[in-house]
Structure 1
Amino acid sequence: MSDAGDFIDLSLQREGSWSRAEEAQSRLGGDLRFYGASVGAVRGTIRDAGRRYPGLLHDDITALSSELWAVPVFERRLAAVVLLQSNVPLLTNSDLTRIEGFVRQAHVRALVDPLAVDVIGPLLEGLDRPDMVRADSVLDRWVREPDVWLRRAALLSPLRPLRTGAGDWDRFVRHACTVLGESPATGRKRADGPEVREAISLVLDEMTKKRPELHFSVVDE
């Protein structure tokens, strides 16, 4: 493991507690292990790592995120998300491949949602036109994937810019219609159950409060 990876892992273990680990395991479930460190401690650890190892470039950041993610411990994976979130300006269109792998392995909202809202969405907003077109094709593929978490990530990705009056509302509507327009003939349940439909509702609820001029109706069969 790298020096930075060792520092982050040991710091997270020191911040952990058995009671928080048991509570998180009960609440989040899945196959992850837990150190029991708080979200604030994870964020603080990444800030400390940035001060301890300054000047990390794109390849350093992405390699470190993969190193942290590789061990199925919730706090390590959340630290990988926070690391990417803190360095979004360094990320490029090609990093969507790595992030897609993270989303496929995440399996819990507490990892998928910050990846979608705080990493994927801002990454897309920073792309130039040619890279944006390529990224759009990636997200168009995600909403047609059988993987429920990829579909959720694609739907939630525009939430942060949309809140601020920017963002691609038409992309969200297109993706929501793709998901909601499915029928049993596609071989999948329409919207793939609560995770995906919940993602659509989260965006629509936020837009009702922040940008009521935007309209999209969810029609049930």
Structure 2
Amino acid sequence: MDVAHEAARIEKELRAQADPVRSVNEKRYLKSDFVHIGVPMGPLRKIAVSAVRAEPERASVLALARTLWEATEDGRPVHELRMAAIEVLVRRAALLTSGDLAFAERLIRDSAGWVYVDSLAEKVVGGLVRRDPALGAVLDRWAADPYLWIRRTALLALLPGVRASEPDLGRVSAFGDLLIGEREFFIRKALGWVLRELTKKGQAGWVRDWVAARTDRISGVAIREAVRRLPPADAEPLLAAYKAGVQAR
């Protein structure tokens, strides 16, 4: 692959799809300081993955993602090019090796919000951890990391196992206990999200019991997500206990 050529082609095709109104609205919604071209995810994904549709080499995938990620306009990152970098990695995540976790971490630490982090967390980091369970030790460290998007990644990287009905319940519980007192909305939401997905995959009883033991500590955001798919007979007592706990605090 001619990485420079493909990166230039992707940028040219994205700019041909520019929507100034979308650009302004998306920038406002994401509270972004980046340059925004204004391209919906459907066309963006199609343009990005076309570069790696044929079987590429791992090194080319990494180089293209790096080139797109590091591109700037007037010294500022370009939102759509960063999203294109993520789509390239997600599309060819199966080519990545355990050592590429460091590259994924670099992108996450360089991210400015959930829109960049979540696909990297689940599809890239989560995929690597599923293929090499020893990388779970990295998630253990990340769960206590000072950077909120790394902590969110530690939680969301557990989702592939949950979706495959092979959840790492030990880490869900450990990370949940570690992060249950978080004040950051995006961590609270991620915890509830993981618990909700567990319920969808046949772990309703486990989720019910885990939450029941923590109604005095769990946040409103997390418990509302956690009980969303529980039967009313389970969800209602948990919410009542939570509300009683809030009143007693």
Relative to the length of structure 2, the TM-score reads: 0.77
* Kept in 1: contact 2:121–2:154 (CA 8 A): yes
Show structure 2 runs of 5+ residues with no match.
Answer: 72-76, 218-249
Q: Output the CA distance in 1 between the equivalents of 2:108 and 2:216.
A: 28
Residue 8 of structure 1, aligned match among 3, 7, 10: 10
In structure 1, what residue type is equivalent to 2:20?
W
1:157-181 CA-to-partner distances (Å, cap 9, x unmatched) read: 111331231242322222222223x
Alignment: residue pair count? 205
Q: Displacement, 1:138?
A: 1.4
1:53-97 CA-to-partner distances (Å, cap 9, x unmatched) read: x34211111111111111311111111111111111111111111
Query: 3-state DSSP class of the match of 2:206?
Result: coil
Query: 3-state DSSP class of the match of 1:165?
Result: coil
Aligned counterpart, 1:184: none
1:23 pairs with 2:28: no
Q: Displacement, 1:219?
A: 4.0
Show structure 1 runs of 5+ residues with no match.
Answer: 181-189
Residue 214 of structure 1, aligned match among 206, 218, 229: 206
Q: Output the CA distance in 1 between the equivalents of 2:147 and 2:49.
A: 32
Q: Output the CA distance in 1 between the equivalents of 2:23 and 2:66.
A: 23
Q: Displacement, 1:213?
A: 3.8
**Using a 3 Å threshold, how does the CA distance of structure 1 residues 55 and 163 change in structure 2: closer, same or farther?**
closer
Q: Displacement, 1:192?
A: 4.5
In structure 1, what residue type is equivalent to 2:184?
G
1:107-131 CA-to-partner distances (Å, cap 9, x unmatched) read: 211111111122211222122xxxx
Q: Displacement, 1:45?
A: 0.6
1:79 pairs with 2:70: no
Q: Displacement, 1:153?
A: 0.8
Residue 97 of structure 1, aligned match among 95, 98, 102: 102
Q: Percent identity?
A: 29
**Using a 3 Å threshold, how does the CA distance of structure 1 residues 15 and 169 change in structure 2: closer, same or farther?**
farther
Query: 3-state DSSP class of the match of 2:145?
Result: coil
Q: Determine which structure has more spread, i.e. the larger CA radius of gyration.
A: 2
Aligned counterpart, 1:193: 184
Q: Output the CA distance in 2 between the equivalents of 1:8 and 1:89.
A: 22
Q: Which runs of 4+ in 1 moved over 6 A?
A: none
Q: Displacement, 1:220?
A: 4.1
Relative to the length of structure 1, the TM-score reads: 0.86
